Structure 1
Amino acid sequence: MSAPERDALHALGTVVDPELDEPITDLGFVRSLEVDGAAVTVHLRLPTSFCSPNFAYLMASDAKDALTALPWARRVTVELDDHHDSELINRGLAADAGYRGTFAHEAEESLVELRETFRRKAHTAAMERVLTRLLRADRTRTAADLHGVTIGDLPADDATAALLRRRAGIGLGDDPALPVLVDADGTPYPPDEVPLRLRLARSTRISIEGNAHFCRGLLATRYDLEENAS
C-alpha cells in the first residue's frame, strides 16, 4: 500500500458511523479505495439497501470531508453502492449540495442537528461504560454513589479516553473536578435520579453495541464476506 493510500485509509478511519459509534473502516463499510495521483475514489457499502438515508448520507459526507482535508487530495469522489437512495445521495455528494440540498423537502432536520443527536447518544454510552467499570471494580460502591464521581476519579484507560473524546464532541470540558454523570449540557443529575439515569444510559449503550453486532452480521451475509463463515 502506497503512502497516499495509507493516508486516505487513515482519514477514513476517523469517520464514525453516526448510529453505531464505530469507525466505518472497522465496520467493513469501505468497499474499495483507489488513489490515482491527487485523485481519490471511494466506494462505501451498508448492511442493507434500506438503511436510513440520513445515516447513509452523514457517513458518506463525513468520508468525503475527511478525504478532502488531505493536503495532497485534489479530486475526491465518494459513492454509496447498493442503497435505495444511492443515486440521489451520490448526486448530492458530487455537487456538494449538502444534506438539505440533496433531500430537499424530505430533510426534516439539518445535518448539524442530526450529528448532534448521535454525538449525545455516543456520550451517554461512553459515560455508562466508565461508571459500570467503577461499580464492577469496587463491589462496595452502589449506583447512588456515582453522583460524586469526577473525571479525576476515573482510571487512565481506554474507556476514560473514549469518554473524554465524546465529552469534547458535545462541548464538555475535561477538568478533573467535573462530575462524570451529567446530561448533554454538563448538568449533574440529582442524587435520587442517579440509579434511573444509569439504567437509561445502559439501555442506550446496549442498543448501540447490539446494532453494531447485528449490522456486521448483515453486512457479512449480504456481501458473502469471510467473517460470515467464521
Structure 2
Amino acid sequence: MNTSSHSAIIAGSTGLIGKALTQVLISNKGISHIYALSRRPLGVSSSKLSVLEHPNLDIPPFKPDDTLPKLGFICLGTTRKQAGSKAALEKIDLDLVVKVAKQMAESGVRKLAVVSSLGANPKSFSHYMRCKGKMEEELEAIGFEHITFMHPGPLVGERENTRVDEILIQRVIGAIQPVMRGKLRNYIPISDREVAVAMNQVMSKEAISCVERLNSVQIRQIAKTSG
C-alpha cells in the first residue's frame, strides 16, 4: 500500500508517543492529510492536520469531500495509578481502544499501528499485561488488512505528568544497561520519538504479514535505519 495517496487518522495525539507521532506524520510528505481524534485541542497546527474533538473519542461522520483515512494509529493508554482502579484502566486500555479501532475500520482504515506493551499477553498474571493482550486479540478479530502492535519497553520523553516510579526504574536500568544482553535489551528505555518514527515507517511500506509485533530492539532498529 502506497501512503502517497492516503490520509491517516490518529487517536491519542496528546499523549507521550501520540505527540511525537503527530509531528512525524506532519513531516511525512507521503501522507496527504491527518485527522487527530482528541478530547481537547492539540496545541499544534498544520495545513494537513484536522482535529476531531470529542469527549468520548467518537469519530464523527466524514464530509462527502473528505479523503477517508486508510492508515490508522492508536496511542491510547494509561496506568493503574492514573486510572484509579483496575476497572478504570480496563475501560481505557481495552474497551476504548477496541471501540476506536472498530470506528476506524468503519471509516475506511485498512492498516493499523497500535501502541501496546512489552509483555502483552491475554493470559498474563499481570492485569495490565492481560488487558493489553486481550486488546490485541479483539483488534485482530476486527478484520484489518494489517495490524502492527508496538511492544516498547520503558518509555522516555517529556510527559505532562512526571512518573516518579518510571524515573527510578530508568535510573536502575541505566546503571545496569552495559551488561544487558539478549531479550533483556528490550527493557532498555526507548524514546517516544523512536517509537513514533518506527510506527510511521512500518505503515509506509508494504505489509508482509497480516499481524506483526515489534519489540523495543526491533523498534529502535527501524527508527535508526529511518533516520
Range into which the TM-score falls when normalised by the shorter chain: under 0.3
Structure 1 or 2: larger strand share? 2
Task: Give the TM-score, by structure 1 length.
Answer: 0.27
Task: Give the TM-score, by structure 2 length.
Answer: 0.28
